[in-house]
Structure 1
Amino acid sequence: MIETRLLRQFVVVAEELHFSRAAERLHMAQPPLSQAIRRLEEQIGYPLFVRDKRTVELTSAGLALLGKAHELLGALDESVAYTRRVAQGIEGHLVVAMISLSHYPGFWRALSAFRTQIPAVELSFIEATTKEQVELLESGEADVGMMRCPGTTTPSLTIERLLLDPIQVVLPAAHPLAANTAVRLEDMSNESFVMSARALGQGFHDQLLALCKGAGFSPRIVQQARQIQTVLGLVAAGYGVALVPASFERLGLQDVVFRPLQHSALEELTSVALNVASNNSVVSPLRDVFIETLRRHV
């Protein structure tokens, strides 16, 4: 294995074709430099220079090595510089896993601000449920997660709330309760409910069940869906009613109406958090800059 120090010394000698001048450039004495070049020649197995009392010339092997040495040292220097930029949080690659965020304008403002601030960073996005995001973060396949509350113990993750989103009732436009300005959850005890599957988002699913239980009933779930947009579509088609974050009203879906819940005794359950999550066992200045941008804009 040839040391990069020997390669750098060889390049200077090859450029100067004079050992004394090369030693001056390298801030070292000439004898150690001559010994270093001999060690390099021994490792390669061929002479790199033709020397006499007056001249120093490159051999064919020396010429071949000079071209490759420039490439190798240039690539090494760029790799070190790139590593430093990544460590400073000004370049690199981030993988962001997220639930559907099309209805959160603050998230897109944050992305725009981050791109303006650090244009050299490459971002990749994975749409995933909260459960899937936990797995991606724990395996190192994602750097940042945008999720609801996981509802399970996640000691390896740091989870920070970005905002609270009120939970509202979603009804078919023709539903009798759609005429109300607000809806008591107790009045929905006999309704059919459409919900996202618990296996895909345990925390949010269990929160909705606890909210209904606090109103004195267990919801009769007739349909389950992977995405809340699908839940809304099923409500529009008349399959039931739903409880969803109020921000989804921004999607402007036809044939459904959103109504706020009248204040419940379980006030702490009437809003759902949007969180940013990361693996606390991984050090990443770039990820930290991204999360700070989210804090400012979401």
Structure 2
Amino acid sequence: MEFRHLAGFVAVAEELHFGRAAARLHIAQPPLSQQIRQLESELGVQLFERSTRSVRLTSAGRAFLDPARRVLADLEVARRAAQAGGRGEVGRVTIGFTGASSYETLPVLTKAVRARHPGIELVLYGQTYSGEAVTRVADGDHDLGFVRLPVLREGVAVRLIEREFLVAALPAEHPLARHHEIRLPDLAAEPFVTFPGTRGSAVRDALVHACVTAGFQPRIVQEAPDSYTMLALVGAGVGITLTVSSVQHIRIPGMVYRPLAGEPVVLELALAWRGDNPSAALRAVLAVAEEVLPTPPST
């Protein structure tokens, strides 16, 4: 039994006319009649009562009609699912992210993907620092990662989605909080709180590099897993920090933000993925990301 036999049977059963059924299927009438005879022979029953004037379903034909329709409907569902999978409209994409920057950009991406490709499942892994995200993408553990540039890992493709800059976060009662902007050398004696040093935090790396460039090694007294905890520690007077400008929407009692004097310290946020990842779902997500998270113009 072939699917074309079922399609031919259903067409004749619904039209009750071989000529109209053949036209509906875009085939000649003799091949259609032959398909019905082959089907009846395989089933061992007569499906139609034929005369020169009419075509009627037999009791066997009436019993066979609904199951045949269901088989054809299931086949259509399978066909559409395969085509959707090939277009990347179904599948699973794993994403690693951390930090306040991705907390703002990630919802934009996920909402757009779910609206346009509801068949794509997004699996999100938080507290994945930039260095970790690059490694997991390169190793194939994650399909997509929010990372900081530059990324030097071979085989990992990136696209810039946002530029940020470092700002200072200080306790509100700190003497330097009265200043409009903060000179980095003035922070040389201060205790710092920042992200862990063993997990590839690009923001921590930028903090250390900025301080060393200003002539001192930062004295880090406590680490925090995320921006909210880190800023709460600043508000509690544990220390100060340098963080990215995108976190300034986070308001913590007893804490203020101040810009840094001089040339801005720029950090670039990007999406990273393996260039040879064959996932059609990933390609669909990247296409959506290019629309809703466009690369900012060059400065």
What secondary structure, in the 3-state scheme, does the structure 2 residue paired with 1:153 have?
Answer: coil
CA contact (8 A) 2:133 2:147 kept: yes
Runs of 5+ unmatched residues, structure 2: none
CA contact (8 A) 1:169 1:243 kept: yes
**Map of 2:124 onto structure 1:** 126
**Worse overlay, 161-170 or 47-56:** 47-56
CA contact (8 A) 1:19 1:30 kept: yes
**Map of 1:273 onto structure 2:** 268
The answer on 1:155 being equivalent to 2:150 is no
| 1:244 positional shift | 0.2
Runs of 5+ unmatched residues, structure 1: none
Q: Find the aligned partners of 1:190 and 1:66 in 2 and give their Cα distance.
A: 85
| 1:242 positional shift | 0.9
Q: Find the aligned partners of 2:50 and 2:108 in 1 and give their Cα distance.
A: 69
**Map of 2:249 onto structure 1:** 250
Give deviations 1:7-26, integer Å, cap 9, x for gaps.
22221122233434422332
Structure-2 change in CA distance of 1:72 and 1:290 (3 Å): farther
| 1:101 positional shift | 4.5
Give deviations 1:213-246, integer Å, cap 9, x for gaps.
2223332222112111111011111211111012
**Map of 1:7 onto structure 2:** 6
Structure-2 change in CA distance of 1:16 and 1:168 (3 Å): same
What secondary structure, in the 3-state scheme, does the structure 2 residue paired with 1:11 have?
Answer: helix
CA contact (8 A) 2:162 2:295 kept: no
Q: Find the aligned partners of 2:65 and 2:140 in 1 and give their Cα distance.
A: 43
| 1:251 positional shift | 1.7
> Percent same amino acid at aligned positions?
33
Give deviations 1:240-265, integer Å, cap 9, x for gaps.
1111012212222221122222226x
What secondary structure, in the 3-state scheme, does the structure 2 residue paired with 1:295 have?
Answer: coil
CA contact (8 A) 1:193 1:220 kept: yes
Give deviations 1:160-200, integer Å, cap 9, x for gaps.
22221110121112223222222222232332221112444
CA contact (8 A) 1:130 1:150 kept: no
What secondary structure, in the 3-state scheme, does the structure 2 residue paired with 1:164 have?
Answer: strand
Structure-2 change in CA distance of 1:73 and 1:52 (3 Å): closer
Structure-2 change in CA distance of 1:7 and 1:137 (3 Å): farther
Q: How many residues align?
A: 286
CA contact (8 A) 1:159 1:275 kept: yes
TM-score (norm 2): 0.74
Question: What does residue range 220-235 of structure 1 map to in structure 2 within 5 Å?
Answer: 220-235=219-234
